A and B are shown apart, each in its own frame.
Chain A
Amino acid sequence: MKRKQKKLLYRIIVAGILFAILMICEHGSESISGWTENTWLFAAFCLVPYLIIGYDVLRKAVLGILHGQVLDENFLMTVATIGAFALGDFVEAVAVLLFYQIGELFQQLATAKSRKSIADLMDIRPDIANLESEDGTVSEVDPSEVPVGSIVVVRPGEKVPIDGVIESGTSSLNTAALTGESMPRDVQGGDEIFSGCVNLTGTLRIRTTKDFGASTVSKILELVEHSGTKKSKSERFITRFAQVYTPAVCLAALVLAFLPPVISLLMGHEALWGQWISRGLTFLVISCPCALVISIPLGFFGGIGCASRCGILVKGSDYLERLAALTTLVMDKTGTLTRGQFAVREVRAVSGDKKQVLYYAACAEKDSNHPIAICIKNACETDVSAVEANITERGGFGLHGTLADGTKVAVGNARLMQEQGITGFTEMPADEVGAQTVVYVAKDGAYLGAICIEDPLKETTPAALQTLREAGISRMIMLTGDGQKAAQAVSERLGGLEYYAELLPEDKVHRVEELIGDNDAPVGFVGDGINDAPVLALSYVGIAMGAMGSDAAIEAADVVLMDDDPMKIALARKISLKTLRIVRENVIFALGVKGLCLLLGALGLAGMWLAVFADVGVMVLAVLNSMRALKKPKETGE
């Protein structure tokens, strides 16, 4: 609790005790009729807690009037309580201010708490960097002073201050603050690591590849700081609503206070001024728009905070609202649904010796950096880097040549095998090939076998799509630059997912434009941020995944998933739905209770007490309800 809030708390306690005494006194005395000397005394006693609890409200009300700011909540409270005093309802006047201030305190504490949970995320900001100079001495400097290409030492327990590549050392990193993933990640020399991770076990020496401002941690902090600027439709609506609502209720209060007595007088009846003015004042107390104005941004903020903790960065409450409105989700295949990395899925050998097939393929590919070559070399158990070979590359066919021991090898597609006149070669049937890429291997002119390579689905992809479907995304579409066959095979494995294949980057833009159509359908797009920035920007909500270290993705997308787990897409959707539901509950609840109390107040069925509940109680409940948005939704189901 800050000093300001502690002071308010003490004032509430003191005023509360005095208020309780007054209640007992009032109860004990005869009901007050007419202004006797005793009444004046009692009023003076009531003035003490009234001023203790409300002096700042009165001050702000006076300042507000001086600055032409009538009709704010301070003014409403002041008029209502002074009115209550004038009517002889001294205790009620104190009660109104007392409860108003309790509500204020509560609201301040609640917002401070949700701010803190965001601040915990902000905790990723590194305070120092241990810069190693050329002579080997290490000095502590501010991370922003570290030049690109210098060596930084990160000891166990410290945060990685700047993005870089490990020069020496092995350790495991806690990336939870960035990705929400609790499993530590093992790293060793040569690995690229990102700022904001916490080094757990060993000391690392890192050569920085960026300056602090361009590092992941700075990007994320910038993003979180800016998340407040994109206000959601509901927030904008309630702002406009509050601007109309308060004057309207004040006018209604005025009418309620004076019109019925005047009419009554004209009709020749008693005016009952006191009763109607009291009802008008009740109206004023109810009219405060605070519960609405606070609970909506607080709900959204909770949702954004919850998402951040799960490694999902939402750039503003606007996008959380849009995420909840999605019915169609377009997904890129490579890197989003699939891993984006080739892996050997199957090796077929004529002779039965699969290791031999892999070995000769690896030898032929030894100097190639093609993704397929790398994955074959990774799959081969023998290290082939020392093998000497004379290899010719034939673009569109494959590779062939002679190894140092005189063995002739040929590795490539069916056309290469036919061209080289390989004996015993048979092409794999199309239905067995499916989504895979097949590399044929031959040794000394004889067919040896085939290696099937594919870009495998991520483990969680099927479950993620299922959860998204359950969370109300009725149409999901996969876009890919791959061939029809490959796309179809992936689609079949994902339960017949709708797809468009053989798309160039600009075709993806056209596809999404078509889906959006003339009536601006809410179409979301998920991509890995590589080559799809235009689509991310074009769609209703652009979601970039695996964004650790990718500036382009962070800039183009509205929602950024820090790691590349497709389950996070589903989680983001769920958080958005939950947040929107909470916000809607708050609006309906606040408006409903206020409306009801206004009605009861006008009919004279509700007094100042109920009015205070309508104002403070609703606000407190709405704030409490908003806090629920901070909690992570369950993994499965709604």
Chain B
Amino acid sequence: MKKIYKIEVDCAACALKMEQAAKKVEGILDATVSFVTQKMHVEFDENAEPEKIMPKVLKACRKVEPDCEIEF
């Protein structure tokens, strides 16, 4: 299952860090952050529930980039 989320991040290096942090969250197969389009593409595990996982993703991203936002 793939979903796209709108994000807010200020620099390209931060976007990379968010991407790596998001990938490590349980239930997520792959994540790509495009700094330029300000979008996060997330591929979830088949049985995963995005509503439950996305708060964890945001938390993980905030750790590496305190100012980032993800709309979900």
Contact = CB atoms under 8 A, between A and B. Distances in A.
Interface of A: 56, 59-60, 63-64, 67, 69, 72-73, 104, 107-108, 111, 114-115, 118, 225-229, 231, 239, 242, 289-290, 293-294, 297-298, 301
B37 A242 contact: no
Interface in B1-45: 4, 10-14, 16-17, 32, 34-39, 41
B37 to A, nearest CB: 5
B63 interface: yes
A225 B37 contact: yes
Contacts of B63: 67, 69
Contacts of A227: 37
Contacts of B55: none
A69 B10 contact: no
9 contacts: A63-B66, A64-B66, A72-B13, A111-B36, A229-B34, A229-B41, A290-B12, A294-B13, A301-B36
A297 B35 contact: yes
Given A111-B35, A115-B36, A228 B13 contact: no
Given A69-B64, A72-B17, A293 B36 contact: no
B49 interface: no
A56 B10 CA distance: 13
A298 B36 contact: yes
B16 A293 contact: yes
Given A67-B63, A72-B17, A108 B38 contact: no
B37 A228 contact: yes
Given A63-B66, A228-B41, A114 B36 contact: yes
A108 B15 CA distance: 13
Nearest to A294: B12
B62 to A, nearest CB: 9
Contacts of B67: 56, 60
Interface residues of B, number: 20
- Of all A-B residue pairs in the complex, the 3 with the closest CB atoms, nearest first, are A228-B34, A294-B12, A301-B36
Pick from B14, B32, B37, B63 the residue with the most CB of A within 10 Å.
B37
A115 B38 contact: yes
Given A228-B36, A294-B13, 12 more contacts: A56-B67, A73-B11, A73-B13, A108-B10, A114-B36, A118-B37, A225-B4, A228-B32, A228-B41, A242-B16, A293-B12, A298-B36
Contact of B16 (A67, A69, A107, A239): A239
Contact of A69 (B17, B32, B36, B39): B17
A229 B10 contact: no
Nearest to B33: A228
A69 B14 CA distance: 11
Contacts of A56: 67
B44 to A, nearest CB: 15
Contacts of A298: 12, 36
A104 B12 CA distance: 11
Contacts of B12: 290, 293-294, 297-298
Nearest to B10: A108
Contacts of B35: 111, 294, 297
Contacts of A228: 32, 34, 36-37, 39, 41
Contacts of B14: 72
Contacts of A239: 16
Nearest to B32: A229
Contact of B64 (A67, A73, A229): A67
A60 B64 CA distance: 9
Pick from B11, B16, B17 the residue with the most CB of A within 10 Å.
B11
A118 B17 CA distance: 25
Contacts of B16: 239, 242, 293
A226 B39 CA distance: 9
Nearest to B60: A67
Pick from B32, B39, B63, B66 the residue with the most CB of A within 10 Å.
B66
Contacts of B41: 226, 228-229
Interface string B47-72: 00000000000000001101100000
Given A228-B32, A301-B36, A289 B66 contact: no
Given A229-B32, A242-B16, A115 B37 contact: yes
A114 B1 CA distance: 30
A239 B19 CA distance: 11
A83 B10 CA distance: 26
A448 to B, nearest CB: 63
B13 A290 contact: yes
A104 B64 contact: no
B69 to A, nearest CB: 11
A69 B11 CA distance: 16
A117 to B, nearest CB: 11
Contacts of B4: 225-226
B60 to A, nearest CB: 10
Contacts of B32: 228-229, 231
B37 A293 contact: no
A242 B66 contact: no
A466 B12 CA distance: 39
B10 A60 contact: no
A59 B11 contact: no
A334 B6 CA distance: 42
Contacts of A59: 66
Nearest to A246: B13
